[in-house]
Structure 1
Amino acid sequence: MIETVDARGLSCPQPVLDTLAKIVAMGSGKIEVLLDTEASKENVARAAQSKGWRVESVEEDNGEYRLMLAGD
């Protein structure tokens, strides 16, 4: 099952904090993160990787981003 973090419209560091909270709550699995700024995309990806999660894909559509994260 894929969990979703919708962080569109949120200012940093909130997207990072919400994503890290989901990572801690899940422990492993897949998370879809929805973002609307380049800075949030970079910060969330970096934070997830620091916790041992992989960025499986990044999609961009009209200034919005969808990151797929995976943790073992």
Structure 2
Amino acid sequence: MLQLVRVDARGMSCPQPVLMAKKTLESNKNGFEILVDNNVAKENVSRFVKNAGLKVKVEEIGEDFLVKASK
């Protein structure tokens, strides 16, 4: 299975996690994972990923959220 690039955006407020997701997507067209620590960032990054035409899967890891974007 393909290992996805993981970006750590914990401690950042929007729009920073979305901008990080956008930049990561530019060099990782097949997908990536982004770790966020708040609900707003989870929702905004998930929306960005869907709008970019990728599938979204969100996993809760303790108090954090791992948003997985894949083709």
TM band (smaller chain)? 0.7 to 0.9
Q: Deviations for 1:5-38, whole angstroms, at most 9, x for unmatched residues?
A: 11001111000000011111122x2311100000
Percent identity over the alignment? 36
* RMSD after superposition: 1.1
Contact 2:25/2:31 (8 A) holds in 1: no
In the alignment, structure 1 segments of 5+ residues that lack a partner are none
Runs of 4 or more above 4 Å deviation: none
**TM-score, normalization by structure 1:** 0.86
When the two structures are superposed, what TM-score results if normalisation uses the length of structure 2? 0.87
Pairing 1:1-20 to 2, within 5 Å after superposition: 1-20=3-22
Q: Where in structure 2 are there 5+ consecutive unaligned residues?
A: none
Give aligned pairs, total: 69
Structure with higher strand content: 1
